[in-house]
A and B are shown apart, each in its own frame.
Chain A
Amino acid sequence: MEALHNFLRSHAQDDRLPWAVQEEAANRFGLTYGAIEETALEINLLPLRYQRNRQTITTAQQLHLFRSSVAVVGCGGLGGSVIEALARLGIGQITVVDPDVFEEHNLNRQLLSTLAMLGKPKVEAAVERIKEINPAVTVTPIMKTFTKENGAELLKGVNVVVDALDSIPIRLDLGDICKQWKIPLVHGSIAGWYGQVATQFPGEDILGKIYPRGAGKKGIETELGILSFTAGFVASIEAAEVCKILLDEGTSLKQRMLSINLLDMEIVEVQL
């Protein structure tokens, strides 16, 4: 370990560590990229990729994010953008859950979808994308539908869950499981020009307040479809919520929901 510390310190540029050094250290010491990134952060060296984070996120916080585990349930319009943001932010462990493969009608909004990925699993695209951004991030792909039965197992050890689903009943199940296992849940959903975001903390039943029990499977998105910028906008708010929960900073959407209307450029806050 001492040898690795010396190697990293002696190859750092001031206190920043270029990727080429992380790569060389992984090869030289037979360690994963993840182990190298964590070790670097532990000895207060900042991977160069995070240089533009540092005025806002300290190296110690960056280490905390790297040691955090986030599950993104749904890898479509919201999920694709959330995953991208979390990987770049520096979350060390990301679990991605989605049973589907990409279809052509996903191309209008789903960041992970490309012509080349049509017919391929969404979780596979998530793994590839994260690897392209940062191979130090550990991704766990789960190509399954989230259910009440498998939910607890899928979310084991996860610090925060992101709701990026497209089904109201499954969202309610996700809310129940997160409540039961005391995991903070960042809810987001979208339709056309419209979206909403809220965060459910342990002990709360926020999803149950947003969707009446016994409601339909889908909402107004069946009539309106979904636009790319609505997905990106709501996904960004969700990612920001995750970051704040993990770092225990700022003011989260606790017991309040943002209702977003990009057609009239109106954001309304409601108390839940």
Chain B
Amino acid sequence: MIKITVKLFAALRKGRFEKETRKYSSDTTVKQIIDELNIPRDQAAIIFVNNRHAKLDHRLSDGDVVAFFPPIGGG
């Protein structure tokens, strides 16, 4: 098992959480976390792993910090 800290921003927090350190099996990808949290794929527009841009298939390591931002498009 590995420990991943997940940070959610803006409306992604609603009904979920702001920040949690959670246990996942090793080799977990960003995509699996999004699915586990029931976040629709298109709602995770910006993904950071340890403050760097990451993609859905990024494999996480113990201690990683993952952050998700939803798409904001209004004016």
Q: A residues bordering B, Cβ < 8 Å?
A: 74, 76-79, 163-168, 171, 188-196, 209-212, 215-221, 223-224, 226, 231, 259, 261, 264, 268, 270-272
Contacts and interface: CB of A to CB of B under 8 A. Distances in A.
Contact of B74 (A189, A259, A271): A189
Nearest to B43: A220
Contacts of A79: 75
B53 to A, nearest CB: 7
Contacts of A189: 72-75
Contacts of A166: 73-75
B71 A77 contact: no
For B10, B70, B72, B75, which residue has the most chain A Cβ atoms within 10 angstroms?
B75
B2 interface: no
Given A166-B73, A190-B72, 11 more contacts: A167-B73, A189-B74, A191-B72, A209-B46, A209-B53, A211-B45, A216-B42, A217-B73, A220-B10, A220-B71, A223-B11
A99 to B, nearest CB: 13
Interface residues of B, number: 20
Given A210-B45, A210-B46, A271-B51, A216 B71 contact: yes
B11 A215 contact: no
B24 interface: no
Contacts of B73: 166-168, 171, 189, 191, 211, 217-221
Contacts of B51: 270-271
Q: By CB atoms of chain A within 10 A, which of B11, B70, B73 has the most?
A: B73
A268 B71 contact: no
A219 B75 contact: no
A270 B71 CA distance: 15
Contacts of B72: 189-191, 194-196, 219-221
Interface of B: 9-11, 18, 42-43, 45-46, 48, 51-53, 67, 69-75
Most chain A Cβ neighbours within 10 Å, of B9, B48, B52, B71: B71
Contacts of A165: 75
B43 to A, nearest CB: 7
A165 B66 CA distance: 29
A166 B48 CA distance: 24
Nearest to A79: B75
B53 A224 contact: no
Contact of B10 (A78, A191, A212, A217): A191
A198 B33 CA distance: 27
A259 B69 contact: yes
B75 A224 contact: no
Contacts of B42: 215-216
A270 to B, nearest CB: 6
Contacts of B48: 270
11 contacts: A79-B75, A167-B73, A188-B75, A191-B10, A196-B69, A218-B74, A219-B71, A220-B10, A220-B43, A226-B74, A271-B51
